[in-house]
Amino acid sequence: MKFINLYLLAVTTILFVNCSSKQEVTTLKDAYKNDFYIGTALSADQIEEKNIKVDSLIQKEFNAITAENIMKSMFTHPQKDKYDFALSDKFVAYGEKNKMFIHGHTLIWHSQLAPWMEKIADSTEMKAFMKDHITTIVSKYKGRIKSWDVVNEALNEDGTLRKSVFLNTLGEQYLVDAFKLAEKADPKAELYYNDYNIEEPAKRAGAIALIKKIKEAGGKVDGVGIQGHWRLQSPSLEEIEKSILEYSALGIKVAFTELDITVLPNPWDLKGADVNQNFEGSAKMNPYPKTLPDSVQTQLAARYASIFKLFLKHKDKISRVTFWGVYDKQSWLNDWPIKGRTNYPLPFDVNLEHKPAYDSILKLKKTVE
């Protein structure tokens, strides 16, 4: 009798342990909690919690946030002697309130500069600007913003340095200076170089050379941000994997910082297409204005699944995967490279419903480990 009781106890225990460890996962952040952060980019309205439904989706699905626009220099530093932190304070408070990993985007970027910055013409003035700008912003959020895109998009497609206002005034030393200033302002913050298309061979070689140079000159680079503005067919998984391996071989973390996948035709891919031609309102260039056909929906789901499968294979090298937006309605890809189209690049649709792409990402992690 005693033996039977012990046997029953053992069977029940095994069943109980199995059931509780095989708990069904229901959200992206829970599913991937042991692998890497799952982030999203917030618009100003989302930071201000203007829509309850959007807000509850953000809190449910994501554990890392980036500001899509409001921390760019034209907003935080509109005049030489004037900073505006009203929205970035709210952004950081939002992340803290919801126990999210907070990423800063971005400190040194040639685009979305305040007009006064574009007029800086000599090295003394530019050095003073960089010191003031980086020190003020990074110190303000010291210990709260956990990682920064210190330099954003410094490279051309062929891997050479972009002729920005920073390069023109300071030469390539500006890259080293930026990382040194950021480290000084918050020694514990993780510092990233962030760019698009740096999974492509030529640009990747440029990014690797750039990161090596900064490190050799004494700058602290903790990671590379591969933006991940991708398409259904490209880049290949092979190039993405090579990139993960080659960047992490530099002793840095790899983050996918602005992930989205366009399903629309690109004017540059059309033979003989003149990019300056006006494609706005063209049905050919906006093929799914109302709904995405099932066949394309399935392709998008398969593409996301294969990408996340690769990310999981290299989870030890990946710190964060951030989608560039919460849902399709908000995506910048509705207005670029052609204004006013309907694109479907994210896992949540225009009504905040999850798409087959979402299910395919979740399916890779059926159970909580």
Instruction: State yes or no: is 153 an active-site residue.
Output: yes
Tell me whether residue 116 or residue 332 sits nearer to ligand G3I (CB atom).
332
Tell me whether residue 92 or residue 346 sits nearer to ligand G3I (CB atom).
346
Give the number of C-alpha atoms closer than 13 A to the C-alpha of residue 90, restricted to the C-beta side. 15
Q: Which residue's CB comes closest to ligand G3I?
A: 332
**Encoding tokens for residue 184?**
């000084």
Tell me whether residue 71 or residue 189 sits nearer to ligand G3I (CB atom).
71
CA 61 – CA 357 distance, rounded (Å): 14
Angle, helices 294-313/356-363, rounded to nearest 10 degrees: 30
Contact track, ligand G3I, 158-197, x by CB under 6 A: --------------------------------------x-
Tell me whether residue 257 or residue 297 sits nearer to ligand G3I (CB atom).
257
Contacting ligand G3I within 267-326 (CB under 6 A): none
CA 332 – CA 225 distance, rounded (Å): 19
Smallest separation (angstroms) from ligand G3I to the CB of 165: 16
Out of 40, 46, 164, 227, point to the residue binding ligand G3I (CB under 6 A).
227
Out of 12, 23, 79, 111, point to the residue binding ligand G3I (CB under 6 A).
111
Tell me whether residue 49 or residue 125 sits nearer to ligand G3I (CB atom).
49
Out of 13, 34, 79, 112, point to the residue binding ligand G3I (CB under 6 A).
112
Instruction: Catalytic residue, from 183, 190, 200, 258: name it.
Output: 258
Tell me whether residue 345 or residue 356 sits nearer to ligand G3I (CB atom).
345
Phi-psi region of 36 (alpha: psi -120 to 50; beta: other; left: phi over 0): beta
Contact track, ligand G3I, 60-79, x by CB under 6 A: --------xx----------
> In b/e form, how buried is each residue of 277-291, taking b as 16+ CB within 10 angstroms?
eebeeeeebbeeeee
Smallest separation (angstroms) from ligand G3I to the CB of 18: 44
Q: Does 266 bind ligand G3I (CB under 6 A)?
A: no
SS3 2: helix
CA 55 – CA 300 distance, rounded (Å): 25
Backbone angles phi, psi at 338, to 5 degrees: -125, 135
Angle, helices 173-185/201-216, rounded to nearest 10 degrees: 60
Instruction: Catalytic residue, from 153, 183, 199, 200: name it.
Output: 153
Give the number of C-alpha atoms closer than 13 A to the C-alpha of residue 216, restricted to the C-beta side. 7
Smallest separation (angstroms) from ligand G3I to the CB of 154: 12
Smallest separation (angstroms) from ligand G3I to the CB of 169: 22
SS3 67: strand
Q: How many CB atoms lie within 10 A of CB 99?
A: 8
The site for ligand G3I (CB under 6 A) is made up of 68-69, 111-112, 196, 227, 258, 332
Residues with catalytic function: 153, 258
